[in-house]
Amino acid sequence: MKTFYTSLILIASLGLGACASQVPLATTYPITYQQKMQAAHHWDVLAADVADRLSKALSTQDPSGGKQILNVQGAKCCTVFNYAFHEFLVTRLLEKGFGVSSSPNVGLPVTYQTQVVTHKDRGFIRPTPGLFTGLTAGVLVLRNLAKSASPGPAAAVGLAAVGLDVGTGYITGGVPDNEIIVTTSVMSGDRYLVRISDIYYVNDNNRDQYIAKAAPPTRLMEVVGQ
């Protein structure tokens, strides 16, 4: 018996030592929310938001309140997103009262670049807080409706609320593997005046809208006269 207890103590000690020597356990950040780009309208919304933030940031650097002349120099020819975002941003800057020049030599240059980030293995994604609670409430409401020939107004309101949460698209479904980072900068010479970065989810099937297509390879052929 003494030998048995001695063995248990030894095993427990080894176990504690192993726990103390393990690498740190993986944990996640507190839950946050990130919007998903799903329509060209969302690109316009981003352009309007960028123009608004540029206006506020540049106004603090110009106490007179005057609007600077800007020129948007994004590479609009490379991707579907870049072309649309360029046009939206020019429109939104004009609406904010900026002068926008088409000449790269006039005004402060506004540049933007888009980076696509693709994740291969996200692991387990936690559900939206309250999702299970909301679904449970919906099940309870449905159960009450099934048991009652004339459901009360509270049950009807509860069922409608659950339907609105799902139907309005607040929950967009699974988390995609692709994100984009859009960084917009305003330069004065070699100095950054304003720099804005935004991150969005994009549907995996729409990834190509944000990736520049490589130019087709060219071949040089030597023509030898006869």
Q: 154-168, pLDDT tens digit by residue?
A: 555 555 554 555 555
| Cα pseudo-dihedral 176, 169, 128, 199, rounded to 10 | 50
Find residue 37's DSSP bridge partners: 202
Which is nearest to 89 in space by CA: 113, 62, 65?
113
For residue 116, what pLDDT is reported?
94
Mean local confidence (pLDDT), 138-154: 48
Structural domain includes residue 113: yes
Whole-number mean pLDDT of the chain? Answer: 76
Least confident of 37-51, 89-103, 155-169, 200-214: 155-169
Mean local confidence (pLDDT), 128-143: 49
Whether residues 86 and 167 fall in one domain: no
Mean local confidence (pLDDT), 47-64: 87
Whether residues 143 and 186 fall in one domain: no
Instruction: Label residue 12 by pLDDT band (50, 70, 90).
Output: low
Q: Quote the tokens at residue 7.
A: 């063995």
Structural domain includes residue 22: no
Whether residues 204 and 181 fall in one domain: yes
Structural domain includes residue 46: yes
Whether residues 64 and 169 fall in one domain: no
Asked if pLDDT for residue 178 goes beyond 70, the answer is yes
Question: What pTM value is reported for the model?
Answer: 0.67
Instruction: Label residue 103 by pLDDT band (50, 70, 90).
Output: confident
Of residues 84 and 162, more confidence is placed in 84
Which is nearest to 113 in space by CA: 44, 185, 51?
185
Asked if pLDDT for residue 69 goes beyond 60, the answer is yes
Structural domain includes residue 1: no
| Domain range for 53 | 36-121+174-210
Distances in Å between the alpha carbon of 171 and those of 16, 124, 146, 163, 174? Answer: 43, 17, 27, 11, 9
Whether residues 186 and 131 fall in one domain: no
For residue 54, what pLDDT is reported?
94
For residue 61, what pLDDT is reported?
76
Specify whether the CB–CB gap between 99 and 69 falls below 8 A.
Answer: yes
- Count: domains in the chain: 2
Highest-scoring range by mean pLDDT, 76-85, 134-143, 149-158: 76-85
Whether residues 146 and 205 fall in one domain: no
> Which residue is listed with tokens 């393990």?
22
Asked if pLDDT for residue 22 goes beyond 60, the answer is yes
Structural domain includes residue 24: no
For residue 142, what pLDDT is reported?
43
Q: Quote the tokens at residue 21.
A: 């020597």
Specify whether the CB–CB gap between 177 and 204 falls below 8 A.
Answer: yes
